Amino acid sequence: MSDFTLSCPAPILSEERILLAHGGGGRLMHQLLERVFLPAFRDPALEERHDGAALEINGVRLAFTTDSYVVRPLFFPGGNIGDLAVNGTVNDLAMCGARPLYLSAGFILEEGLAVETLRRVTDSMRAAAERAGVRLVTGDTKVVDQGHGDGIYINTAGIGVIEAPWEISPRRVEPGDAVLVSGDLGAHGVAILSVREGLEFEAPIPSDTAPLWPPVAALLAAGIEVHCLRDLTRGGLASALNEIAQARGLLISLEEAAIPVSEPVKGACEILGLDPLYVANEGRFVAFVPQSQAARALEVLRSVPVSAGAVQVGSVLEENTAAVVLRSRVGGRRVVDMLSGEQLPRIC
Amino acid sequence: MSDFTLSCPAPILSEERILLAHGGGGRLMHQLLERVFLPAFRDPALEERHDGAALEINGVRLAFTTDSYVVRPLFFPGGNIGDLAVNGTVNDLAMCGARPLYLSAGFILEEGLAVETLRRVTDSMRAAAERAGVRLVTGDTKVVDQGHGDGIYINTAGIGVIEAPWEISPRRVEPGDAVLVSGDLGAHGVAILSVREGLEFEAPIPSDTAPLWPPVAALLAAGIEVHCLRDLTRGGLASALNEIAQARGLLISLEEAAIPVSEPVKGACEILGLDPLYVANEGRFVAFVPQSQAARALEVLRSVPVSAGAVQVGSVLEENTAAVVLRSRVGGRRVVDMLSGEQLPRIC
C-alpha cells in the first residue's frame, strides 16, 4: 500500500454509506454492482449484465431472474405493488427471449398492515399472473416490526423457457442496428409521482404496467433477428441505452423528434421538472434489430396491443465510443448521460 | 349473512391486522396462508404445502423455492444474514430431494447502511454458495429510506434438479414411518437470542446454519426410500411435525428422552424460558423413512459431518388423528401443539 495508493487509488465507493440513489438504476447503482456485487459473486452469468440469467439444465434452456418491489405508495393509478411485482419479473424473462412460466413470491409485511390491504394486493397478483400466463408456485412470508418496513415489500423470482433460437444479449448489439421503443414513455413514473405529491392532472395518468412477452413472442415468431431487448424501468430509456452503450463500447444516436411521449405525460413532466427520457416505465421496452428488418419489426410490434405505439427512435452508429447522443429537433446534439441515481426513489 | 353466520362463521382472520406472529411459522402464519395466499393464488403446487414447488419443464424435473431473510441482528455467533440466505434456500431445495444449482439474490438495503457491512455479507454469501456448490446467477438491489428497513433484507430464490426417483412430500408419510432428526436442536435460535438479549454464556453457542444437500444426497444414493423431508426452521421440530400431522391426518409420537439437545443449548433455553422443541434450526432436518430402513438411514446420515448426530426421535402411529404427542421420560404423554406464532420473531 503506502505510496502506491496515491497514484493508483483502490476502487472504493465514493460514498461509504448506502444512499437512496444506490437503488435508482443510475451511476451509483452501477458502482455498487461493479465494486461490491460482481467482485463478491464473480459469476459469468452476472457479468452478462442482462435482465436475467440464461441457464442450461439437462439440455433445457432456462432464464432465471429476480426483482424486489418497494414502490411507494402501494396503490397508484393503473396498478399496485402486486401487479407490478408480477409484470416486472415476467418482463425481465421476456427480455431474455424466454416464455415466462413460473414465479415465486416472497412477502415482507410490516406489523400493523391491514389484512384487507394484503388481500387486495394478492388478488391483483393473481389477475396479473393469469393475464401473463404464469403460475405462482412457491412463496414465503416474513413479518418485520412496525417502523422497519413500509406495509408490503414483495420479491418475485421467475423461471422461463428461452424460445429465442439465438442469444438475445447486450453483446449482440452492433453498429447498424435500429433502436425501437415499444410505445410512449414515462407513464409509470408520472402515475407514481402524481399520487405521492398529491397532484391531480386533468385526466389521471395510469401506469403502463403490463406483461411484455406477447410482443417479444410476436417478433420471434416473425423471424425478426432480435439482437437485444431491455425493459425501460428504473432510470428509463436513457439509463437502459447507456448501460448497453457502455457494456459494448457503442455510440447510440437518438432522434428527439421520434421519441414518443404522450401530451399528458409531457405536460406532467414539465410541471414536475422531470425528463421523460429518465422516467421509469413498467410496460415499455427497447429492441435492437438489424436496420434492414426494422420496418417489418415495427409492423409486428404494432399488431400487438401493448406495443401498438412502437417506433424507431435511433440507431447504433459505431464502435469504440461508449455514449448516447440525442439529436434535437433543431439539429443540435447533446450527450444523454446516466444520472447518479433516479429522479424518483422507490418507483418500483 | 344474518342468522346463518351464527352457526357458520365466515373464514375471516381473527386479527384484522398483521402481527409479528403472522411471520412466525405457527398457527397464525398458517391461517394467513390458508385464508389469504392459497385462495388468492389457487395453485396445486402451493397446495402441496412443501418447502418448494416441484415442476417439470420439457422433461426436466426441477424444484423452485424462495425465502426472504429479515434476521435481527445481521451478525450472530456462527453466521450472518448472508450465509443464512444461501443455506436456507439451498436447504429448501434439498428437502424436495433436489440438488441445489442456482440462486437469485434480491437485496433491500436501508439508506445509511455502511457499504462495508454489505461487503461482509456478500463475502459470506459467496463462501456459503461455494460450500453448497451453487451459483449465484442473478440479482437485484433496492434501497428504502431510513426508518423503512433494518440494514439489509435479502430474498433468495433457488432452482435445483430433483434427483429423488420418487416423490418426497408430506403426502407420502404413512403409519409405520420412523421419524429421524439429523442432529441436536435449538442452536440457531439460542445463538440469535443470546446476541439480541446481550447474554453471554460460558461458551458461545454458534448457529447451526449449514447446507443440507450432502446428507440428503447420501440417503438417496444409499437407496433409502425417503418419504418426506423438512428442515426445522421457524417454529422448530414441533411446528414442522404438526404441519405434516395436520396435512395428512396422522398421529406422530415422539420420545422425549430421544430428542437431542446439547447441554449448552438446554441450559440457555432454561435461562431464556424457551422450549427447544419450538426453537428454530438452520442446519437440521427431519426425515420420514420406513421403520425397516431406519437403522440403515441413521448409519448413512451419521457418515456425513453435518448430520453426524442423527437419531430416531419417534414414529408415525396411525391415521385419522392429526396430532403430535410426546412421551415423557416418566411415561406420561402430552400433546405438542402448534404455537400461535414463534417464540422469537425475526429469527431468519
pLDDT digits (tens, 9 = 90+) for B190-211: 999 989 888 777 778 999 999 9
Distance (Å) from the alpha carbon of B108 to chain A's nearest alpha carbon: 7
Residue type, B170: P
Of A13, A155, A346, the CB nearest to B68: A155
Out of A147-161, B5-19, B61-75, least confident range: B5-19
CA distance A103 to A92: 12
CB contacts under 8 A, A 242-261 vs B, are: none
> In this complex, do A68 and B135 lie within 8 Å of one another by their Cβ atoms?
no
Mean pLDDT of B70-87: 97
Of A17, A21, A140, the CB nearest to B68: A140
> In this complex, do B126 and A29 lie within 8 Å of one another by their Cβ atoms?
no
- Residue A308: its pLDDT value, please? 98
Contact (Cβ atoms closer than 8 angstroms) between residue A231 and residue A92: yes
Does position A14 have pLDDT exceeding 90, yes or no? Answer: no
Does position B3 have pLDDT exceeding 50, yes or no? Answer: no
Element (H, E) at B127: helix B115-132
For chain A, say whether B127 makes contact (Cβ under 8 Å). no
Distance (Å) from the alpha carbon of A243 to chain B's nearest alpha carbon: 15
Which residue does chain A place closest to B107, by CA atoms? A68
Longest dimension (CA), chain A: 63
> In this complex, do A70 and B108 lie within 8 Å of one another by their Cβ atoms?
yes
CB < 8 Å to B33, chain A: 141
Give the cell for residue B266: 438446554
Mean pLDDT of A182-206: 89
The contacts found for B201-205 with CB under 8 angstroms, 24 or more apart, are B201/B264, B201/B267, B201/B268, B202/B264, B203/B264, B204/B77, B205/B77, B205/B264, B205/B265, B205/B268
The band of A179, judged by pLDDT with boundaries at 50, 70 and 90, is: very high
> In this complex, do B23 and A143 lie within 8 Å of one another by their Cβ atoms?
yes
Give the cell for residue A44: 459469468
Interface pTM (ipTM) of the complex?
Answer: 0.94
The closest of A90, A70, A89, A65 to A81, measured between CA atoms, is A70
The strand ranges marked E within chain B are 53-57, 60-69, 75-76, 79-80, 98-110, 135-144, 152-162, 177-181, 228-231, 250-255, 285-290, 311-319, 323-327, 333-335
Mutate which of B47, B142, B146 to disrupt the A interface (most A C-beta within 10 Å)?
A: B142
Look at B273 and B299; give whichever has higher pLDDT: B299
For chain B, say whether A334 makes contact (Cβ under 8 Å). no
> In this complex, do B106 and A43 lie within 8 Å of one another by their Cβ atoms?
no
Mean pLDDT of B150-164: 97
CA distance A146 to B326: 36
Which residue does chain A place closest to B118, by CA atoms? A36
Torsion of CA A287, A289, A295, A300, to 10 degrees: -60
Using alpha carbons, list the distances in angstroms from residue A232 to A91, A188, A316, B47, B235.
10, 10, 18, 35, 42
CB < 8 Å to A102, chain B: 53, 55, 64
CB < 8 Å to B53, chain A: 102, 104, 137-138
Mean pLDDT of A84-99: 98
> In this complex, do B140 and A43 lie within 8 Å of one another by their Cβ atoms?
no
Does position A343 have pLDDT exceeding 50, yes or no? Answer: yes
Longest dimension (CA), chain B: 63
- Residue B282: its pLDDT value, please? 98
Helical H runs in A249-302? 263-272, 294-302
Contact (Cβ atoms closer than 8 angstroms) between residue A185 and residue A291: no
The band of B15, judged by pLDDT with boundaries at 50, 70 and 90, is: low
The closest of A25, A75, A3 to A341, measured between CA atoms, is A25
The closest of A192, A200, A18, A211 to A130, measured between CA atoms, is A211
The closest of B293, B252, B288 to B95, measured between CA atoms, is B288
Q: What is the DSSP string of B19-39?
A: -GGGGTTSHHHHHHIIIIIHH
- Residue B287: its pLDDT value, please? 98
The band of A15, judged by pLDDT with boundaries at 50, 70 and 90, is: low
CB < 8 Å to A24, chain B: 143
CA distance A333 to A261: 20
Does position A50 have pLDDT exceeding 70, yes or no? Answer: yes
Query: What single DSSP character describes residue A95?
Result: T
The closest of B345, B308, B38 to B189, measured between CA atoms, is B345
Distance (Å) from the alpha carbon of A134 to chain B's nearest alpha carbon: 11
Mean pLDDT of A141-161: 97
In 3-state terms, what secondary structure has residue A326?
A: strand
Using alpha carbons, list the distances in angstroms from residue A256 to A175, A318, A330, B107, B341.
20, 19, 9, 36, 57
- Residue B320: its pLDDT value, please? 84
Distance (Å) from the alpha carbon of B190 to chain A's nearest alpha carbon: 19
Which residue does chain B place closest to A43, by CA atoms? B137
- Residue B199: its pLDDT value, please? 78
CB < 8 Å to A345, chain B: 143, 145
For chain B, say whether A18 makes contact (Cβ under 8 Å). yes
Strand order in the sheet with B323-327: B228-231, B285-290, B177-181, B311-319, B250-255, B323-327, B333-335
Query: What single DSSP character describes residue B279?
Result: S
For chain B, say whether A133 makes contact (Cβ under 8 Å). no
CB < 8 Å to B125, chain A: 40-41
User: Could you check whether the bond before residue A73 is cis, i.e. omega within 30 degrees of 0?
Assistant: yes
Distance (Å) from the alpha carbon of A333 to chain B's nearest alpha carbon: 33
User: Could you check whether the bond before residue B73 is cis, i.e. omega within 30 degrees of 0?
Assistant: yes
Distance (Å) from the alpha carbon of B222 to chain A's nearest alpha carbon: 23
Mean pLDDT of A19-36: 90
* Average pLDDT score, chain B: 92
Residue type, A190: V
Which residue does chain B place closest to A160, by CA atoms? B57
Distance of CA A255 to the CA centre of its chain: 21
Of A16, A58, A64, the CB nearest to B138: A64
Mean pLDDT of A159-166: 96
Of B36, B41, B157, the CB nearest to A66: B157
Q: What does the pLDDT look like over A234-291, one tens digit per residue?
A: 999 999 999 999 988 999 999 999 999 999 999 999 988 899 999 999 999 999 999 9
Out of A91-95, B43-47, B194-198, B340-344, least confident range: B340-344
